[in-house]
Amino acid sequence: YQQKDRDRVKDENGNFVEKPHTLMIRGRIPGGRLNTEQYLLWDELGEKYGAGALRLTTRQSIQLHYLLKGDAKTVIQEIHKI
């Protein structure tokens, strides 16, 4: 999913600066269970590409927010490997 950061920031001239659009990737957790290797990869991707964030949901999924569009292909390839 594409996301827009709604927090507006001003530059040194007082003009509002648009932050880049980011993506959120949601992965399913079949049966609600991840093995250690799978979790550690998601955690690593969250640290490296997701601003240090990783979200586990109550609907057996895992979400990686704040992903820049240019990093999406690499992240999806890493998830696919595991």
Q: Shortest CA distance to 71 belongs to which of 24, 37, 36, 13?
A: 24
In order, the DSSP letters of 15-30 are -EEPPPPEEEEEEE-G
**How much is the CA Rg of the chain, to the nearest whole Å?**
15
* CA 42 – CA 47 distance, rounded (Å): 9
Q: What is the pLDDT of residues 34-72, one digit of tens each?
A: 899 999 999 999 999 998 889 999 888 999 988 988 899
> Are 32 and 45 contacting, i.e. CB atoms less than 8 angstroms apart?
no
Chain mean pLDDT for the chain = 85
* pTM assigned to the model: 0.74
Q: Which residue has the higher pLDDT, 12 or 47?
A: 47
